[in-house]
Amino acid sequence: MEALHDFALLRPASLSDLIAARRKAPEARLIGGGTDILVNIRRGIEAPPVLIDTGGIAELHTIKASAKSFEIGASVTLTEIATHPGLAKYFPAIAEAAGSIAGPTHRNMGTLGGNLCLDTRCIFYNQSEWWRTANHDCLKTTGEICHVAPKSKGVCFATFAGDLAPASLLFETEIDLAGPKGKRTIPLADLYIGYAKKDGSTGDGKTYLSLKPGEMVLVLRGRKPAGLVSAYDKLRIRRSIEYPVAGVAVALQRSGDKLTKLRVAVTGTNPRPVLLAGTHELCGSAIGEDTLSGLDGLVRDQIMAMKTTFTPGMYRRRIAGVLARRLLQRLWAGAG
């Protein structure tokens, strides 16, 4: 399908109206800027009869940042995040990640909520309907096997490629959610369940968010200790209007000649954004070859290398390691 199907577009002006509209039409889908979901609809990946625009709800447009904390509503645009002075000063990884997404027109439309809940991607999935049909649809849509890993036993490895999630994960972030059963707050990391374990105990590239039916993201909140500096970088095939081959966010705290905190998060590689475990073991002394090779080891062990993009999986893993090393060295030098 290339033309859009018929659908109703609802524009509620309050959160209670939005939740009521979703209760009335459980098959409805939310639309923030539409820069991801409309592409999927045009490709016939989905055809929701009702779209609910989140843009009319004032409380979802909050954006504020101070030296210690930030709060961003789900309908804030990527351009607003990229150009917010408080975020740029105190949480640069987030502003840099937002500024690196797609192209300027996408950033003017795309929202925080849509970016955090971005669909996962794969070369066998992000294709037109005729392409997918001609190549035997895979199990992320209507088929039965995974073309990337035919022996995957029902597991999908499609990649999460949103840039804001890894940058946000550096900052003890939590999100407020709202749904038919009320509001709740969870750590941002718990939104993502795409661990792709073959025992089916968690989600994968097909079931990648922990949202309950009818739930939505309202607000992202984070905080940081004094002296934590951060940055974001990514590699893409084109330098604009392009998803990351791999994206890396790093935050560190330096006290004299000692690395006292290190956080590293990666996107574009696994069916979830990955906040690397074990980085605290690299702290305690100045950065040297041991720290860099230790970081390489953490990337190698925790980053997946499945062939879901045009670049080989191993290349993405190596690139993630290179970006992480470079950011670590740059931030360390700047914090001295």
User: Given the rule CB under 6 A, which residues bind ligand FAD?
Assistant: 29-37, 39, 54, 74, 78, 101-102, 106, 109-111, 113-115, 117-119, 161-163, 216-217, 241-244
| Closest CB to ligand SF4 among residues 108, 142 | 142
Residue 35, binding choice from ligand FAD, ligand SF4, none, Cβ under 5 to 8 Å by partner class: ligand FAD
CB of 123: closest distance to ligand SF4 in angstroms? Answer: 7
Segments of the chain assigned E as strands: 8-10, 29-31, 50-53, 63-65, 69-73, 174-179, 182-187, 216-223, 229-235, 246-255, 258-267, 274-275
Which of ligand FAD, ligand SF4, none does residue 41 bind (CB under 5 to 8 Å by kind)?
none
Residue facing ligand FAD at closest CB distance: 114
For residues 39-59, b (16+ Cβ closer than 10 Å) or e, as one string?
Answer: ebbebbbeebebbbbbbbbee
Is 65 within 8 Å of 87 (Cβ atoms)? yes
Q: Choosing among ligand FAD, ligand SF4, none, which partner's interface includes residue 99 (Cβ < 5 to 8 Å by kind)? A: none
**Nearest in space to 124 (alpha carbons), one of 90, 91, 159, 174:** 159
| Residue 80 contact partner, candidates ligand SF4, ligand FAD, none, CB within 5 to 8 A by sort of partner | none
Smallest distance, Å, CB 244 to ligand SF4?
17
Residue 253's DSSP bridge partners are 261
Minimum distance from residue 130 beta carbon to ligand SF4 (Å): 17
Least distance to ligand FAD, CB of residue 127, Å: 14
User: What is the C-alpha to C-alpha distance for residues 182 and 98, in angstroms, rounded to an integer?
Assistant: 29
Q: Per the structure block, which two tokens stand in for 244?
A: 């990351």
**CB of residue 248 vs ligand SF4: minimum separation in angstroms?**
22
Binding partner at 37 among ligand SF4, ligand FAD, none, C-beta below 5 to 8 Å by kind: ligand FAD
Distance CA 105, CA 40 (A): 18
Instruction: Round to whole Å and give the CA distance between 253 and 172.
Output: 14
